[in-house]
């Protein structure tokens, strides 16, 4: 049933350019070469020839088999000065031939290695474009980066444009040590592009609204404010749902397919790449601990000497803020931040943990002014064992100078 729905959705979601803008030819040495369909000129030659410091083009053309039996085409552009690798998932109605010049510019300006690929049914890739096929496509490319180029997830940044945000977040949600994610004109889901809905449907595709919450690495969101294909609200919602959101880029006046023309685009993207390069493992762990808000280490291993109620087998308090006591034998001693001493005669909250005055022996039952448990008498001077004014215990209405109850 899932395959039928995916194939049906694909007819309305994917529009691969036809005919493809490039072709793959095999050279005499067995290597693959990509040439433009219109001119038969090699893509690498048109982009500037031999790599001369990051600005030229050192291109590897790859043919990868996916777990769903399709063969997809991938381009790997190497920058000799790069520390990180960018895995680019392009948008709809485009293929590698159209994006190749952009890849060369990104590789040089961002100082990264770049891997781009065509989905099944796009360009020279075989098969049909479906949601499940795109997931298998990006997984095959990631496996190639690991095995052929030695790229670990700690040195990888995933980049998803428009529809490409679907496979990007699919893979990012499975890689806990990923360096970063870029969401360019991303979608909340396929159905939400067509109509504004908040409920879930079984026939919806690319449910990024759910997967973004599983991504643990920094996420940069780039979106045009005048995007008439994917509304700006998609990017804004994804940014708010991200666990580690990076400073977003809202391109004022930007549309869906022209953000690369704005100077702020490359400037902000370069800043993100630079921050990801300089981010150390220690910085990452600090951010993770802050997000998780891990509690301090407990004193379970320390001696319980001084705990006067370890022998009293009383029930745990019902306060949700009072977890398991530090002393494994004393079930009446919660870790409530408002009850700091064991000698509190209200026995540590028992459902009333928010008393800021339960700090010692003189509180609660022994001092009406600071009682957090019993209802306070109207007379502010009534105390245990005697009222300073009338000399009685609780007045009981007999005091002529005050009315305690």
Distances (CA, A) of 161 to 79, 113, 232, 324: 22, 18, 14, 47
Q: Based on the residue annotation, tell me whether 90 is a catalytic residue of this protein.
A: no
Q: Based on the residue annotation, tell me whether 227 is a catalytic residue of this protein.
A: yes
Per the structure block, which two tokens stand in for 125?
């890739």
* Distance (Å, whole) CA 130 – CA 17: 15
Of 135, 287, 280, the C-alpha closest to 219 is 287
Helix (H, G, I), strand (E, B) or coil at 313: coil
The pairing of strands 219-224 and 180-184 is parallel
* Distance (Å, whole) CA 374 – CA 146: 66
Please answer whether residues 362 and 383 qualify as being in contact, where contact means their C-beta atoms are separated by less than 8 angstroms. no
| Block residue for tokens 């005697």 | 386
Which member of 162, 165, 173, 185 is catalytic?
162
Please answer whether residues 10 and 130 qualify as being in contact, where contact means their C-beta atoms are separated by less than 8 angstroms. yes
Q: Based on the residue annotation, tell me whether 52 is a catalytic residue of this protein.
A: no
User: What contacts 230, CB < 8 A, 6 or more positions away?
Assistant: 162, 185, 186, 187, 193, 223, 256
Crossing angle for the helix pair 2-13 and 131-149, to the nearest 10 degrees: 90
Which member of 118, 227, 268, 338 is catalytic?
227
- First vs last C-alpha separation in the chain: 71
Element holding 224 (H helix, E strand): strand 219-224
* Distance (Å, whole) CA 200 – CA 202: 7
Which member of 170, 184, 223, 256 is catalytic?
256
Of 98, 129, 91, 88, the C-alpha closest to 36 is 98
Give catalytic residues, as residue numbers: 162, 227, 256
């Amino acid at each position: 049933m899932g395959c039928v729905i995916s194939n049906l959705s694909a007819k309305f979601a994917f529009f691969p350019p036809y005919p493809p803008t490039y072709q793959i030819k095999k050279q005499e040495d067995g290597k693959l070469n990509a040439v433009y369909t219109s001119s038969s000129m090699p893509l690498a030659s048109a982009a500037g020839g031999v790599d001369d410091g990051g600005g030229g083009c050192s291109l590897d053309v790859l043919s990868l088999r996916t777990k769903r039996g399709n063969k997809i085409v991938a381009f790997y552009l190497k920058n000799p000065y790069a520390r990180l690798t960018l895995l680019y998932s392009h948008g709809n109605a485009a293929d590698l031939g159209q994006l190749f010049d952009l890849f060369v510019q990104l590789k040089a300006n961002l100082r990264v290695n770049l891997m781009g690929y065509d989905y099944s049914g796009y360009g020279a890739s075989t098969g049909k474009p479906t949601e499940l096929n795109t997931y298998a496509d990006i997984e095959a490319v990631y496996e190639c980066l690991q095995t052929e180029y030695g790229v670990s997830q700690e040195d990888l940044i995933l980049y998803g444009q428009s529809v490409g945000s679907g496979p990007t977040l699919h893979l990012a949600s499975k890689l806990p040590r990923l360096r970063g994610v870029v969401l360019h004109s991303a979608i909340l889901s396929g159905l939400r592009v067509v109509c504004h809905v908040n409920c879930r449907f079984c026939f919806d595709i690319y449910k990024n609204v759910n997967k973004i919450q599983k991504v643990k690495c920094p996420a940069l969101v780039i979106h045009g404010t005048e995007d008439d294909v994917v509304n700006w609200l998609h990017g804004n919602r994804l940014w708010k749902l991200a666990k580690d959101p990076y400073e977003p880029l809202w391109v004022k006046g930007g549309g869906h397919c022209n953000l690369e023309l704005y100077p702020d685009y490359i400037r902000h993207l370069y800043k993100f790449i630079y921050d990801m390069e300089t981010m150390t493992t220690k910085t990452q762990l600090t951010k993770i601990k802050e997000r998780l808000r891990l509690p301090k280490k407990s004193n379970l291993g320390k001696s319980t000497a001084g705990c006067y109620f370890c022998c009293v087998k009383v029930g745990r308090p019902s306060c949700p803020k009072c977890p398991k006591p530090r002393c494994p034998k004393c079930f009446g001693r919660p870790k409530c931040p408002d009850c700091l001493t064991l000698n509190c005669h209200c026995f540590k909250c028992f459902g009333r943990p928010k008393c800021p005055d339960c700090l010692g022996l003189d509180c609660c039952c022994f001092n009406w002014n600071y009682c957090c448990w019993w209802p306070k008498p109207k007379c502010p001077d009534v105390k245990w064992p005697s009222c300073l004014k009338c000399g009685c215990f609780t007045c009981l209405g007999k005091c002529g100078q005050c009315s305690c109850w």
